């Protein structure tokens, strides 16, 4: 068993016993102590022992007590409603929050699609005006023609995904007569699409995309039963092929009627709105501030042949639009 070490003082020279001087006896020489492993006289040897442990323990306790005095512990402060309100007010004062229109556009964005119909060019004044606008939007001359072997864009419009299997709502006049239909999703995925349903009385078409992007998000549809003039709305689409573009306004009327410039068709029960819309917005969603689809933009009112927005647009209520896909939501 290992013996505990201890602090041992230097050995002292043995004093002569009483009467030793008379007999001539002397203390053992210092060399004998050295031979036995003892420290020489006058040079103490340090060995940690019980005394040193007690000193270190006392020092540790003193330091711990000092630390506790310098850094006292406190119980955490319980948050009150006043603290929370102050933090919210501080955030509102120091951070710039997105506008309601920006939040609405961000919400509907992943469900938005660009719709292009290819085929023989329409020979109407409105179609020619739209083509000039598309050319200008692409940085081309207004009367520029398509390059050889390049498919001719018959019309450009907008669509919105209403089912995540690739079911898309748009306007019938965007895709009518097209030999090929191409849709471009929010993430850039391009796909051919086919017309699977139509509702001519509301100028609506249902498309089915053949290729889908990963994690396709369908739009949320919202009943228009509680919609009122003055409610804020946002129109999102591709006016003249430029986009996605966002415009904001309000509902300016309900249950409106509209007759096409050629007088061939009259639409009823429309939502009137003043968010800017132009050719290319057709088929796009009209949404509320939560990004929920209220209707499908279908027409603008303009007494001239310029086909530009003067402040009155129309949208088919989503109740009618969804029924075109065979699934009335409300």
Q: Indicate which residues carry an active-site annotation.
A: 173, 203, 282
Determine whether 6 is exposed, middle or buried from the number of CB atoms within 10 Å of its CB (0-12, 13-18, 19+). Answer: exposed
DSSP assignment of 190-226, as one string? EEEEEEEEEEGGGTEEEEEESS--TT--PPPB---TT
Instruction: Give CA–CA dist 307/260, Å, rounded.
Output: 12
Instruction: Give CA–CA dist 315/222, Å, rounded.
Output: 14
Structure tokens at 219: 């739009």
- The dihedral of CA 123, 208, 107, 229: what is its sign? positive
Residues 236, 112 contacting (CB under 8 angstroms): yes
Question: Among 202, 174, 183, which Cα is nearest to 279's?
Answer: 174
Instruction: Give CA–CA dist 15/2, Å, rounded.
Output: 33
Question: Among 236, 192, 191, which Cα is nearest to 214's?
Answer: 191
Residue with tokens 């512990």: 73
DSSP assignment of 37-68, as one string? TPPPTT-------HHHHHHHHHHHHHHHHHHH
């Amino acid at each position: 068993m290992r013996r505990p070490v201890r602090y041992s003082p230097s050995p002292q020279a043995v004093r002569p016993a009483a009467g030793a001087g008379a007999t001539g006896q002397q203390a053992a020489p210092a060399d004998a102590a050295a031979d036995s492993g003892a420290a020489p006289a006058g040079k103490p040897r340090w060995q940690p022992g019980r005394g040193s442990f007690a000193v270190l323990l006392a020092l540790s306790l003193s330091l711990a007590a000092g630390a506790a005095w310098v850094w006292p512990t406190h119980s955490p402060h319980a948050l009150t409603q006043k603290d929370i309100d102050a933090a919210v007010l501080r955030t509102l004062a120091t951070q710039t929050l997105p506008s309601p229109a920006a939040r609405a556009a961000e919400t509907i964005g992943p469900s938005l699609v660009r719709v292009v119909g290819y085929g023989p060019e329409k020979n109407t004044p409105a179609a020619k005006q739209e083509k000039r606008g598309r050319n200008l939007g692409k940085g081309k001359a207004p009367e520029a023609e398509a390059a050889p072997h390049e498919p001719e864009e018959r019309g450009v419009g907008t669509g919105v995904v209403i089912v995540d299997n690739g079911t898309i709502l748009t306007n019938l006049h965007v895709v009518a007569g097209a030999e090929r239909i191409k849709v471009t999703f929010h993430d850039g995925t391009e796909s051919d699409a086919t017309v699977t349903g139509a509702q001519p009385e509301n100028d609506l078409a249902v498309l089915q995309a053949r290729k889908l992007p990963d994690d396709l998000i369908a739009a949320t549809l919202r009943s228009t039963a509680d919609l009122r003039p003055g409610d804020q709305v946002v129109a999102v689409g591709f006016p003249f092929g430029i986009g996605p573009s966002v415009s904001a306004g309000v509902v300016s009327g309900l249950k409106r009627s509209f007759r096409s410039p050629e007088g061939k068709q009259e639409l009823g029960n429309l939502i009137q709105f003043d968010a800017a819309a132009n050719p290319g917005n057709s088929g796009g969603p009209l949404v509320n501030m939560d990004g929920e689809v209220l209707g499908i933009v279908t027409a603008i009112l303009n007494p001239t042949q310029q086909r530009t927005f003067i402040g009155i647009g129309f949208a088919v209520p989503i109740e009618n639009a969804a029924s075109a896909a065979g699934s009335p939501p409300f």
